[in-house]
Amino acid sequence: MSETYAIEMLGITKKFGNILANDHIDIRLKKGHILALCGENDAGKSTIMSILFGLFQPDEGVIKKEGVEVKIQNPNDATKLNIGMVHQHFKLVDSFSVLQNIILGDETLKEYPDKPNVFQKAFNFLNKHIFKIIDVKKAREEVNKIIEQYDLQVDLDKKVKDISVEMQQKVEIIKMLYRHNEILIFDEPTAVLTEQEIQDFLTVLTHLKEEGKSIIFISHKLNEVFQVSDEITVIRKGLYIDTLKTSETTKEEVSSLMVGRKVEFISEKEKKTPQEEVLRVEHLSIMDPSSKKKVVNDVSFNVRKGEIVTLAGIDGNGQQEVIYGITGLMKMQSGSIMLDRKDISTLSIRERIKAGISHIPEDRHKHGLVLDYSIYENSILDRYFEKDYSQHLLLKDKNITKYGDELIEKYDIRSSGDGNTLVRGMSGGNQQKIIIGREIERNQDLLIAVQPTRGLDIGAIEGIHELLLKQRENDKAILLVSLELDQVFSLSDRILVMYEGEIVGEFDPHEVDRETLGLYMSGARKDQVNAIKENKHD
Q: Which residues bind other proteins (CB under 8 A)?
A: 327-329, 348-353, 359, 361, 366-373, 377, 381-382, 384-385, 390, 393-395, 397, 422, 425
Region class of 461: left (phi > 0), else alpha (psi between -120 and 50), else beta: alpha
- CA 281 to chain CA centroid, Å, is 24
Measured CA to CA, the distance from residue 14 to residue 20 in angstroms comes to 6
At position 487, the amino acid (one-letter code) is Q
Residue whose CB is less far from other proteins, 397 or 508: 397
Burial zone of 408 (CB within 10 Å; 0-12 exposed, 13-18 middle, 19+ buried)? buried
Of 5 and 324, nearer to other proteins (C-beta) is: 324
Torsion sign, CA atoms 434, 440, 441, 444: positive
Q: Nearest distance from residue 161's CB to other proteins, in Å?
A: 17
Distance CA 251, CA 503 (A): 21
Q: Which CB sits closer to other proteins, 243 or 399?
A: 399
Q: Which is nearer to other proteins, 239 or 422 (CB)?
A: 422
Which CB sits closer to other proteins, 125 or 385? 385
DSSP codes, 328-347? TSS--SEEEEEETTEE-TT-
- Give the nearer residue to other proteins in terms of CB position, either 101 or 327: 327
Q: Which lies closer to other proteins via its Cβ, residue 310 or residue 421?
A: 421
Cα-to-chain-centroid distance, residue 33 = 26
Please, what is the minimum distance in Å from the beta carbon of residue 442 to other proteins? Answer: 12
The least distance separating other proteins from the CB of residue 388, rounded to whole angstroms, comes to: 13
Q: What is the full DSSP assignment across 169-221?
A: HHHHHHHHHHTT-SEEEEESTTTT--HHHHHHHHHHHHHHHHTT-EEEEE---
What lies within 8 Å, CB to CB, of 87 at 6+ separation is 187
- Least distance CB 275 / other proteins (angstroms): 28
DSSP 374-423: BHHHHHTTTTTTSTTTEETTEE-HHHHHHHHHHHHHHTT---SSSTTSBG
- Among 162, 180, 150, 177, CA closest to 97: 162
Helix (H, G, I), strand (E, B) or coil at 304: strand
Shortest Cβ 20–other proteins spacing (Å): 16
Task: Give the nearest distance from C-beta 370 to other proteins in angstroms.
Answer: 5
Cα–Cα dist 285/293, whole Å: 11
* Shortest spacing between CB 24 and other proteins, in angstroms: 23
Q: Which is nearer to other proteins, 189 or 368 (CB)?
A: 368
Sorted by sequence, the CB contacts under 8 Å of residue 113 that are 6+ apart come out as none
Helix (H) or strand (E) holding 431: helix 428-441
Between CA 13 and CA 318 the distance in angstroms is 33
Which CB, 381 or 460, lies closer to other proteins? 381
- β-bridge partners, 449: 360, 480
Q: Closest separation between CB of residue 372 and other proteins, Å? A: 5
Instruction: Give me the least distance between CB of 416 and other proteins, in Å please.
Output: 9
Q: How many CB atoms lie within 10 A of CB 105?
A: 10
To 5 degrees, how large is the angle CA 308–CA 251–CA 503?
A: 30
Q: Give the nearer residue to other proteins in terms of CB position, either 255 or 327.
A: 327
Closer to other proteins by Cβ: residue 28 or 367: 367
Q: Least distance in Å: CB of 381 to other proteins? A: 5
Least distance from other proteins to the Cβ atom of residue 350, Å: 3
Nearer to other proteins, 12 or 360 (CB): 360
DSSP 250-279: -HHHHHHHHH--PPP----PPP----SEEE
In the complex, minimum distance from the CB of residue 403 to other proteins, in angstroms, rounded to a whole number: 14
